[in-house]
Amino acid sequence: MSVVLTTGKISALTAITKIVPGHAEALRKTLQGLTGANGGKISSLGTIHIVRWVIFDDDTRLFFATNFDGSVEDYMRDFAERAPDGIDAIWGHCEGYPGARDYPKLRDYILGSAIETDGYYCAYPNSTVTDINKALDWKGKFDTFLDQIG
């Protein structure tokens, strides 16, 4: 799928959807809530490196850009199964949104609004979110170990 660009184990997806007139402010509050407090539900998915939403074009459109581990289908299915309320709370403010509980329709909606990526670089293309968190955990434990024997 050309709207998804992959480098190593990490992929990029960018989508732009139309906001239902008058819904921008409610959407903004939802996005701030979902991404606050260290990402809550988003972080619990364990495959998302970075996700960014931008309300632009005079509050009429929503820009969505994400970097994630694995294939786009796995990513979206996972997202839809584990956080359908979150997806509804965001794209429910956008025109033509089919709901998160019908996966094929959700997939077609997101990929249908996706745009191609023209340039993509990742400093650690073969390291997943799990790899990185595990490495940081090991580093912390190793430092503690060195403190004990030093």
Residue 39 has phi, psi (to 5 degrees) of 90, -15
Q: Least distance in Å: CB of 146 to other proteins?
A: 4
Q: Quick one: tokens of 71?
A: 């294939």
- Judged by beta carbon, residue 112 or residue 140, the one nearer other proteins is 140
Bridge partner residues of 65 (DSSP): 14, 52
The answer to the question of residue 146 lying near other proteins (CB under 8 A) is: yes
Q: Least distance in Å: CB of 37 to other proteins?
A: 21
For 9, other C-beta atoms within 10 Å of its C-beta total 16
- Judged by beta carbon, residue 22 or residue 150, the one nearer other proteins is 150
- Judged by beta carbon, residue 2 or residue 144, the one nearer other proteins is 144
The answer to the question of residue 121 lying near other proteins (CB under 8 A) is: no
